[in-house]
Amino acid sequence: MLADLALVGCYNKTAMPTHERDRVMLASAKRNLAAMAYFGLTEFQKMSQYIFEETFNLRFAIPFEQHNTTISASAVNNLRPDQKKRIEELNSLDIELYAFAKNLLFQRFERLKAKDNDFEKRFANLGNIYYKQGVTEFNWDSNIDDALSTDH
């Protein structure tokens, strides 16, 4: 979904050999992901929240929640080795893109962390509304109340 399909003839799968098409699409997806100002990974919610907040200089009022179990995790445990191998073959491009994304996420995190003199406090207090260091709190409810007020 991140690749530029125009590079491979859109949905015309006969425009080039499958192996070349896959290689071009993967390279395009990696390039597009790297060009995004922000992306996060659900497996790394706290890190993703920190990167978002530092990238856009915005603060969340509550911390992201980390859920480490999924229904698919139990299904994977019940697969035979040959089934797992076949799934990995069919999803090899996605697996490689995920590895690239994970590496890129960690690089961005380390780069932002290195620039943050107050990292330990900031990271420990993600989503803590009382620890904002000069950032103005935005409250939708009071904003809506102000907009609907007839006192203006």
Q: What is the mean pLDDT of the chain?
A: 84
Which two structure tokens, joined as six digits, stand for 41? 């990974």
Could you give the maximum distance between any two Cα atoms of the chain, in Å?
70
On the question of pLDDT at 140 being above 90, the answer is no
What pLDDT score does 79 carry?
Answer: 92
Based on the fold, state whether residues 3 and 58 are members of the same structural domain: no
- Pairwise pLDDT comparison (6 vs 119), residue with the higher score: 119
Tell me the pLDDT band of 152, cut-offs 50, 70 and 90.
very low
The phi, psi pair for 130, rounded to 5°, reads -85, -5
User: Beta-carbon neighbour count of residue 59 at 10 Å?
Assistant: 22
The residue type at 87: I
- Structural domain contains residue 86: yes
Based on the fold, state whether residues 26 and 97 are members of the same structural domain: no
Give me the number of domains the chain comprises: 2
- Structural domain contains residue 48: yes
Domain span at residue 22 reads 1-36
Based on the fold, state whether residues 27 and 51 are members of the same structural domain: no
Based on the fold, state whether residues 88 and 117 are members of the same structural domain: yes
Q: What is the mean pLDDT of residues 80-86?
A: 95
Residue 127 DSSP label: T
Tell me the pLDDT band of 82, cut-offs 50, 70 and 90.
very high
